[in-house]
Amino acid sequence: KLELAGYGKGAIGGVPMMDFKKMAEDAGLKIISSHVNPVDTSISDPFKAMIFKYSKEVTPKIMEYWKATAADHAKLGCKYLIQPMMPTITTHDEAKLVCDIFNQASDVIKAEGIATGFGYHNHNMEFNRVATKEQQEKVKGNPFAAFMKVGDQIYDLMLKDTDPSKVYFEMDVYWAVMGQQDPVEYIKKYADRIKVLHIKDRYVLGDSGMMNFPNIFKKAYEIGILGYYVELEGDKKGRTQFEGVEKSAAYLQAAPFVK
What is the contact surface with Mg ion in residues (CB under 5 A)?
Answer: 172, 198, 231
CB-CB contact of 195 with 159 (8 Å): no
CB-CB contact of 167 with 120 (8 Å): yes
Give the shortest CB-204-to-Mg ion separation in angstroms: 15
Give the shortest CB-229-to-Mg ion separation in angstroms: 8
Q: Which is nearer to Mg ion, 95 or 197 (CB)?
A: 197
User: For 183-200, b where at least 16 C-beta lie within 10 A, e where not — what string?
Assistant: bbebbeebeebbbbbbbb
Q: Which helix (H) or strand (E) holds 15?
A: strand 15-16
Shortest CA distance to 3 belongs to which of 104, 121, 124, 125?
Answer: 121
* Helix ranges restricted to H, 190-240: 213-223
Give the shortest CB-84-to-Mg ion separation in angstroms: 7
Q: Which is nearer to Mg ion, 151 or 179 (CB)?
A: 179
Rounded (5°) CA angle 119-123-127:
100
Q: Which is nearer to Mg ion, 97 or 216 (CB)?
A: 216
Q: Which is nearer to Mg ion, 151 or 181 (CB)?
A: 181
Give the shortest CB-128-to-Mg ion separation in angstroms: 17
Q: Which is nearer to Mg ion, 94 or 126 (CB)?
A: 126
Give the shortest CB-63-to-Mg ion separation in angstroms: 25
